[in-house]
């Protein structure tokens, strides 16, 4: 569904333009809103954004899980409980809630990064650290052998 990485800037009101390629997918599917939530990857804080249909599928997966699973409850509280529904305006921008901007440590310079059925929003310097780590690991043939394509 989504692919690529795109650098953008957050304005003084906390708005950011969704990359045109991502907007095209959203518009083609008739989405004028997104779900945005907090996430942590490799100890780096970021935001994940879902189109409504994908968000509903992901939430349904949680509903099917055992309610007594403490790890699932903790993740659900953090991930689903931290989510906000945001409108995509006519200029293709979203307003990132202040609490989420603060959580992810978003400065003015951010990067959108595709993740199949959703995309992520990173502070640019945080994603650069992840890219550097990925490059180092991908240079190791043993690491690549563990990936089953």
Is the pLDDT at 107 greater than 80? The verdict is yes
Residue 47: per-residue pLDDT: 98
Helix residue spans in 9-149 (DSSP H): 20-28, 52-64, 70-79, 98-104, 124-138, 141-146
Q: Is 110 within 8 Å of 121 (Cβ atoms)? A: yes
Is the pLDDT at 149 greater than 70? The verdict is no
- Picking from 55, 15, 21, the residue whose alpha carbon sits closest to that of residue 37 is 55
Instruction: Identify the structural domains of the chain with CATH numbers, from first to last.
Output: 5-146 (3.40.1550.20)
Q: Compute the half-sphere exposure of residue 140: CA atoms within 13 Å on the CB side of its CA.
A: 8
Q: Is 105 within 8 Å of 122 (Cβ atoms)? A: no
Is the pLDDT at 83 greater than 80? The verdict is yes
pLDDT digits 0-9 by tens, 115-129: 999 999 999 999 999
DSSP 8-state secondary structure symbol assigned to residue 91: T
**Range with the poorest average pLDDT among 53-57, 65-69, 139-143:** 65-69
pLDDT above 70 coverage of the chain, percent: 97
- Picking from 30, 1, 32, 39, the residue whose alpha carbon sits closest to that of residue 18 is 32
Give the list of residues 6+ apart from residue 72 with CB closer than 8 angstroms, or none.
62, 65, 66
* Mean pLDDT (whole number) for 84-90: 96
Tokens representing 46 are 């970021």
């Amino acid at each position: 569904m989504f692919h690529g990485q795109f650098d953008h800037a957050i304005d003084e009101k906390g708005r950011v333009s969704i990359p045109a390629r991502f907007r095209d997918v959203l518009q083609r599917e008739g989405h004028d809103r997104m779900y945005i939530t907090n996430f942590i990857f490799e100890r780096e804080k970021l935001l994940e954004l879902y189109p409504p249909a994908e968000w509903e599928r992901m939430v349904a997966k949680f509903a099917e899980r055992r309610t007594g699973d403490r790890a699932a409850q903790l993740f659900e509280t953090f991930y689903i409980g931290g989510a906000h529904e945001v409108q995509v305006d006519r200029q293709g921008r979203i307003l990132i809630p202040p609490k989420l901007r603060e959580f992810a440590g978003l400065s003015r310079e951010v990067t959108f990064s595709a993740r199949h059925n959703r995309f992520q929003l990173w502070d640019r310097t945080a994603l650069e650290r992840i890219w550097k780590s990925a490059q180092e690991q991908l240079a190791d043939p043993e690491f690549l052998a563990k990936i089953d394509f």
